[in-house]
Amino acid sequence: MDDASTATLGRALLRLGRAGATGWLHVAGRDRGAIAIRDGKPVSIRCRDGKDTLGDLIAGDERAREALARGFDGPVGREAVVRGVASVGAVSDALRRQMRGRLARWFAEPIRSVRFVEGKVGRAPFEEPPSADDLVLASLRRVLADRSVDDLDGLRSRSFVLSPHAEALRGAALAPWESAMLARARQASGGRGVRGSQLLLLAGDEERGLRTLHGWYVLGWLTRVDVGRRDHSMLLRKRHQLRRRATPSRLLEMAPAERNRPRSALRRLAAQVHPDRFEEDLAETSQEVMRALVAAAEALGSK
């Protein structure tokens, strides 16, 4: 697993998923390729290495293998469905497995650049395309399975809190032990955090737990408590309030003495949630919160 590649590509894909983007995420590494994204959901991954071809993944019997070996004029998946060689379900399953394998290989090797280009993307023969969250999580599990844990012992003694980006896990398809780890981390996000050793107990298998902690940390879903714990906690709370459409006064947490001075409350909160205080991957969330705080102060100031 290449931590930098996983962080760069994984976070980019998650951001595009949240934004509901449509276009191509171009990836340049040892193998060049692109991820087709439609309304925030990945629908295909093209690369040049020739591995995990859709035909090989679809072919489950002799008839299918013979038909696919003759070749089709159009996209393999769509043609396989149209000609009755494979069902939509079989093609959907093959596409998911193909995307997981290709994304996991990019996670495992150095990547030089990632660039998104908006544009039209055709519909894939999916019953339902996976979300960006589910694809990243599934590929992360795959690449983590081969990662050594020899250098991860330090995670046991560290304390963690969920970052605002952990919202990606809320609707993702989690294993029971992952759900348990997420619930425990969520309980501790407003306080001193939770020790890695406590989360490892919930994983059932210590090595699996160490790999999961490391992967979630690399993708920015977990943050160490000693890195701006209070500021991250405040950012998470404000993001939650925005989703619940909190009133301007509640969003600004105005003290009685600030009732007629919303700008004072804004300055106090800006000292904790301003984009300059966070790493690059949290800048988008921080900017969203700051815009909402400024709008709240202006709304109260105009009354």
Neighbours of 72 (CB within 10 A): 16
136 pLDDT band, cuts 50/70/90, is very high
197-205 long-range CB contacts below 8 Å, 24 or more apart? Answer: 197/156, 197/157, 199/160, 200/156, 202/177, 203/177, 204/177
Asked which of 59-63, 235-239, 244-248, 250-254 is least confident by mean pLDDT, the reply is 59-63
Nearest of 4, 204, 87, 16 to residue 25 by alpha carbon: 16
Neighbours of 148 (CB within 10 A): 10
Residue ranges and CATH numbers for the domains of the chain are: 3-144 (no CATH), 153-224 (no CATH), 229-301 (1.10.287)
Q: At what angle do helices 262-273 and 283-301 cross, to 10 degrees?
A: 180
What is the C-alpha separation between 18 and 13, in angstroms, rounded?
A: 9
Give the angle 54-58-62 at the CA atoms, nearest 5°: 125
84 pLDDT band, cuts 50/70/90, is low
CB-facing half-sphere around the CA of 224: CA atoms within 13 A:
10
- Work out whether the CA dihedral 47, 53, 55, 59 comes out positive or negative: negative
**Per-residue CA distances from 196 to 60, 192, 211, 213, 256 (Å):** 43, 12, 11, 8, 39
Mean pLDDT of the 134-150 span: 90
**Are the C-beta atoms of residues 33 and 46 closer than 8 Å to each other?**
yes
Quick: pLDDT tens for 250-285.
888 877 766 677 888 888 888 777 776 665 567 778
Q: At what angle do helices 196-203 and 206-218 cross, to 10 degrees?
A: 120
CB-facing half-sphere around the CA of 268: CA atoms within 13 A:
13
Quick: pLDDT tens for 22-72.
999 999 988 889 999 999 999 888 887 766 665 555 655 555 555 554 554
Quick: pLDDT tens for 110-123.
888 899 999 998 77
